């Protein structure tokens, strides 16, 4: 269902832009938008059904969307008045950027503010899967604690002293490196190009080839954006290169990992476990085989989902949209 958030200002003769918001933002952000524009807030099923989106976008000057809203060519070609797309995310793989730009649409996003939250979650998944925290929680709740009394019945892997291989040394990769230092991990990384020597020194991180990263890491943490080059970057060929005692952590985008092949790798003990926040299909289907595996920790795509970060994302998303509609420079523009 789409409903007015604020009524059209009848007293003003000025044309008010129409803005579609596909999911509720913080009240303060909605108020800011509502003062200036006619805001249409989608308040029904999430994500907004494509048919509704296409219908509504026809009259919109601005769009605030989320990673689950697929803003593809079909949507954009119906958006004849659209000037700005402001996404509530750092990732923008859900938007056909090329088509949007051809149509002169400006695109805003929310990097930086979610760096820490996402890095925290990556570290959380590492600790959880190596030390088997969630698995232990299930054991207790299922009243099976009495079966793991022996000194060796329920051992995890110590994080300190292990090597983390960070794939993608952007903002989040760097923050993970910092936090991994604090845990006593050795840091190696691979990215399109090495970071400066100073940054490497500060992060105590060593640039290695892709192959070396796969072969030498005890934990591989993915921090690359999703695009055609990173589609199924992690596949059976790579899992075979990884240590049999290693773990995969993904807080980036689901399609970077070939999930079917990951399940095989986990079942056949090619790797020891995985910690995941993102999936090929979200929300995942009830019969997803990952649900049956004890050596996997599953989070429901909550990397940036802290109270602090969501407030900041909400503010930036609204400000990007307002700046764009005012013809000014966006705070963060794709
Ligand atoms: C992002 O910002 O891209 C995160 O995945 C948010 O949900």
- 324 ligand 1 Cβ < 6 A: no
- For residues 176 and 164, what is the distance between their CA atoms, to the nearest angstrom? 9
pLDDT, tens only, 159-194 = 999 999 999 999 999 999 999 999 999 999 999 999
Q: Which atom of ligand 1 is nearest to the CA of 89?
A: 2
Q: What is the whole-number distance in angstroms between the Cα of residue 251 and the centre of ligand 1? A: 9
Contact 91, 303 (CB under 8 A): no
Q: Is 117 in the pocket of ligand 1 (CB under 6 A)?
A: no
22-34: average pLDDT? 95
Which pTM value belongs to this model?
A: 0.92
Q: What's the pLDDT tens digit per position in 41-91?
A: 998 888 999 999 999 999 999 999 999 999 999 999 999 999 999 999 999
Task: Tell me, letter by letter, the H, E, C secondary structure of 45-90.
Answer: CCCCCHHHHHHHHCCCCEEEECCCCCECHHHHHCCCCCCEEEECCC
Q: How confident is the model over 192-205, as a mean pLDDT?
A: 98
Paired sense of beta strands 2-4 and 38-42, if any: antiparallel
Our CA dihedral for 303, 225, 283, 263, rounded to 10 degrees, sits at: -100
173 lines ligand 1 (CB under 6 A): no
The answer to whether residue 282 is catalytic is yes
Q: What is the pLDDT of residues 99-114, one digit of tens each?
A: 999 999 999 999 999 9
| 125 touches 275 (CB < 8 A) | yes
User: Is 135 tagged catalytic?
Assistant: no
Between CA 62 and CA 83 the distance in angstroms is 6
Quick check: CB of 111 below 6 Å from ligand 1? no
Taking CA atoms only, the protein residue closest to ligand 1 atom 1 is 89
State how far the Cα of 60 lies from the Cα of 220, in Å rounded to an integer.
42
> pLDDT of 206-235, one tens digit each?
999 999 999 999 999 999 999 999 999 999
Q: Is the pLDDT of residue 9 over 70?
A: no
Query: Ligand 1 mean position to 7 CA, how many Å?
Result: 31
Q: What is the pLDDT of residue 7?
A: 41
| Residue 183 C-beta-side C-alpha neighbours within 13 Å | 24
Is residue 87 in contact with ligand 1, taking CB distance under 6 Å?
A: no
- Which domains are seen in the chain, by residue range? 2-109+308-325 (3.40.50.720), 114-298 (3.40.50.720)
| Dist. CA 129 → ligand 1 center (Å) | 22
User: Would the CB of 274 count as within 6 Å of ligand 1?
Assistant: no
Would residue 231 show up in a list of annotated catalytic residues for this protein? no
Structure tokens that stand for 136 in this block: 């232990």
Q: Please pick, among 132, 223, 253, 310, the residue that the annotation labels catalytic.
A: 253
* Percent of the chain clearing pLDDT 90 (strictly above): 94
- The predicted model gives 121-134 an average pLDDT of 98
pLDDT of residue 8: 46
- Choosing from 114, 256, 314 the residue with most ligand 1 atoms within 8 A of its CB, the one to mutate for a pocket test is 114
pLDDT grade, residue 12 (50/70/90)?
A: low
Strands 205-207 and 219-222 turn out to be unpaired
- Residue whose CA lies nearest to ligand 1 atom number 2: 89
Our answer on whether the CB atom of 303 is closer than 6 Å to any ligand 1 atom is yes
Contacts of 331 (CB under 8 A, 6+ apart): 108, 316, 319, 320, 323
Confidence of residue 239 (pLDDT cuts 50, 70, 90): very high
Q: Write down the H helix ranges in the chain.
A: 27-36, 50-57, 73-77, 97-102, 115-131, 133-141, 171-182, 197-203, 210-216, 236-241, 259-267, 307-325
In this structure, the number of other CB atoms found within 10 A of the CB of residue 297 comes to 24
For residue 61, report the distance from its CA to the centre of ligand 1, in Å.
Answer: 24
Is residue 310 within 8 A of residue 85, CB to CB? The reply is no
73 CA from centroid of ligand 1 (Å): 21
Q: Relative to the CA of 118, which ligand 1 atom is closest?
A: 4
Bridge partners of 222, per DSSP, are 167, 250
**Dihedral of alpha carbons 118, 123, 129, 133, sign:** negative
pLDDT at residue 6 greater than cutoff 60: no
Average pLDDT of the chain, as a whole number: 95
- Catalytic hit among 94, 132, 223, 301: 301
Which residue has a Cα nearest atom 4 of ligand 1? 89
pLDDT number for residue 322: 98
DSSP helix/strand/coil, 221: strand
Ligand 1 centroid to 88 CA: how many Å? Answer: 7
């Amino acid at each position: 269902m789409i409903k007015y958030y604020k009524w059209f200002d009848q007293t003003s003769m000025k044309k008010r832009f129409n803005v579609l918001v596909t999911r509720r933002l913080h009240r303060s952000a909605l108020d800011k938008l509502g003062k200036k524009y006619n805001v249409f807030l989608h308040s029904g099923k999430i994500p907004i059904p494509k048919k509704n989106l296409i219908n509504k976008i026809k009259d919109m000057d601005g769009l605030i969307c989320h990673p689950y809203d697929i803003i593809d060519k079909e949507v954009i070609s119906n958006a004849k008045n659209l000037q700005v797309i402001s996404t509530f995310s750092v990732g923008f793989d859900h938007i056909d950027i090329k088509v949007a730009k051809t149509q002169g649409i400006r695109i805003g996003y929310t990097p930086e503010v979610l760096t820490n939250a996402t890095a925290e979650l990556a570290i959380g998944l590492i600790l959880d899967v190596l030390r088997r925290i969630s698995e232990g929680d299930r054991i207790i709740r299922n009243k099976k604690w009495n079966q793991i009394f022996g000194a060796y019945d329920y051992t995890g892997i110590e994080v300190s002293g292990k090597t983390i291989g960070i794939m993608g040394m952007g903002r989040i990769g760097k923050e993970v490196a910092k936090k991994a230092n604090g845990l006593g991990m050795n840091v190696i990384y691979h990215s399109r190009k090495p970071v400066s020597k100073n940054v490497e020194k500060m992060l105590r991180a060593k640039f290695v080839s892709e192959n070396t990263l796969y072969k030498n890491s005890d934990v591989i943490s993915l921090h690359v954006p999703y695009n055609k080059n990173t589609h199924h970057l992690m596949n059976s060929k790579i899992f075979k290169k990884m240590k049999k005692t290693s773990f995969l952590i993904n807080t980036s985008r689901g399609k970077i990992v070939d999930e079917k092949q990951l399940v095989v790798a986990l079942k056949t003990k090619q790797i020891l476990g995985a910690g995941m926040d993102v999936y090929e299909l979200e929300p995942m289907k009830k019969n997803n085989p990952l649900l049956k595996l004890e050596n996997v920790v599953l989070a429901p795509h909550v990397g940036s989902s802290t109270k602090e970060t969501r407030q900041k994302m909400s503010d930036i998303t609204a400000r990007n949209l307002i700046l764009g509609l005012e013809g000014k420079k966006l705070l963060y523009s794709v």
